[in-house]
Amino acid sequence: MNIKEVQERVVANKKRRGFNTTDICLEFCLLNGEVAEAFDAYIKKMPKEELGSELADVAIYLLGLSELLGFNLEDEINKKLVINENRVYKKVNGVNIKIEK
């Protein structure tokens, strides 16, 4: 199954269950909440299975949001990877800073 198929599956499940598919702002907020839950699981050193489940929730919300907004996230990721792989960075005070070409 490719990422686009997973996006479609996520939204189909949301619709089948009666979850939000129209309020994009709400979806961004819910995604943020899932990231916070994953971070909390990490900080609390919860079992690996629980952290994995929280990370899956983050991915599910991101995939659903991508589908609702009409993006093929797999295509977007591939485009962004090429950009990131070709960027030039300079280390400043121990932090990598992007250098514009």
* Residue 18 per-residue DSSP state: T
The domains found in the chain, sorted by start residue, are 3-76 (1.10.287.1080)
Find residue 89's DSSP bridge partners: 98
- Give the torsion through C-alpha atoms of 34, 40, 43, 46, to 10 deg: -90
pTM of the full predicted structure?
0.91
Euclidean distance between CA atoms 24 and 14, whole angstroms: 13
Banded pLDDT at 92 (limits 50, 70, 90): very high
Q: pLDDT tens across 25-45, in order?
A: 999 999 999 999 999 999 999
